[in-house]
Amino acid sequence: MEHYKINHLRELEAESIFVIREVVAQFEKPVMLFSGGKDSIVMFHLARKAFHPLKVPFPLMHIDTGHNFEETIKYRDDLAEKTGTRLIVKYVQDSINEGRAVEEKGLNASRNVLQTVTLLDAIEEMKFDCAMGGGRRDEEKARAKERFFSHRDEFGQWDPKNQRPELWNLFCGAKHMGEHFRVFPISNWTEMDVWQYILMENIEMPSLYFTHKREVFCRDGAWMACAPFMQLKPNEKAEVRDVRCRTIGDITCTGVTLSKADTLEEIIQEVAASRVTERGGRADDKRSEAAMEDRKREGYF
C-alpha cells in the first residue's frame, strides 16, 4: 500500500536539498564552505544527493587556520578526491603574512576570528556570489534569527535588523554588484538530527568523533586537546584521557568531551543524555553574551 508520510529526517533532507538546488539555480558562482566538521560533512552529502548523477556543481572551500587536527585534513582531501570535487584551501597564515590579519596574543589566543578576514578575501578574490555554510539555528541565539538566504553587503557584513523577510519556500537571492549571500541549507537541523541522519545514511565520519586516547588538559571546566601551539597555564597539566570531539574546528577553541562512545549509536545516546550544548565546549562563544552576534555582523560564517 502506498503511504505519503516521511519522517522528520527525510523532511529536513528534502528541505535542504531544495535550498542547495536553489543556490545553484540562482547564483552564478557558488561555493560550499567545508571545515571537516560533521555539519559540513552532512551538508556536502546532501549536495551530492541533490544533483545525482551529476557531480556536485560547485567547489568546496576550506578556510584553514593551520591549527587543525591532522585527521580532519586527511578526511577532507580523501573526500574531495573520492567524489571528484574541486577543493580550494585558503590559509589564515597567508592573511597574517600579508598583514591583513593580526594574530591574537595570550593564552587563549585563537585564529577563529581571523578566519573572517581570509574568508572575505577569498570570496572577493574568487568572485563567489554565494557561500553555503553548515550553520544551524539551534547552535546559538544569534543564529536563531538567521535566514536560509542571508544577504551580505559589500563589506561582507550581516545586518540583523535589516534582514529580508523569508516566506514560504520563496528564497530571494537578488543582489547588487559586490554583495554576496551566505546560505545555510541545514538551518533547521539540530545536533541530534545531524547524528541521526549520519546513522540513517551510514555516512563515514572522521575518527575524531569517536572515542580515542589523546593528550588533553582542562581549562575553565572544558577539556582541550594538546597541540604544539597550545600554551598551558602553570596550574594546567597534560594527561591522556579517552575523549571524542563533539564539534571539530580550530584546535585552540574546540573542546573535547570525555567519552567512550565508539559507534554512532553510542554517540546518539550520549547526545540525548547530554546536558551541555555542543557549543558549550567552544571557548569562542564564551567571550561575551553577544559574542556570536558580533562575529556574524563582521562576516563570520
Which of the 8 DSSP states describes residue 173?
A: -
Residue 219 exposure: Cα atoms within 13 Å on the Cβ side: 22
Nearest to another protein of 92, 142 (CB atom): 142
CA–CA distances in Å: residue 27 to residues 136, 170, 211: 22, 15, 40
Shortest CB 12 distance to another protein, Å: 7
Shortest CB 8 distance to another protein, Å: 4
Alpha helices in the chain (DSSP H): 8-26, 38-51, 70-83, 92-97, 115-126, 191-201, 264-273, 291-297
What is the C-alpha to C-alpha distance for residues 158 and 208, in angstroms, rounded to an integer?
Answer: 32
Three-state DSSP at 172 gives coil
Shortest CB 125 distance to another protein, Å: 24
Say which residue the cell 591522556 belongs to: 240
Shortest CB 168 distance to another protein, Å: 5
Nearest to another protein of 83, 188 (CB atom): 188
For another protein, the binding residues (CB under 8 A) are 2, 4-15, 17-18, 21-22, 24-25, 48-55, 137-138, 141-142, 144-145, 160-161, 163-170, 172, 174-176, 187-188, 190, 192-193, 196, 199-200, 264-265, 268-269, 272, 274-277, 279-280, 289-290, 293
Nearest to another protein of 144, 258 (CB atom): 144
Shortest CB 73 distance to another protein, Å: 27
What is the C-alpha to C-alpha distance for residues 167 and 172, in angstroms, rounded to an integer?
Answer: 10
Nearest to another protein of 213, 275 (CB atom): 275
Nearest to another protein of 63, 222 (CB atom): 222
SS3 content of the chain, % helix, strand, coil (to 5): 40, 15, 45
Residue 99: what residue type?
G
Residue 32 exposure: Cα atoms within 13 Å on the Cβ side: 29
Shortest CB 249 distance to another protein, Å: 17
Nearest to another protein of 9, 218 (CB atom): 9
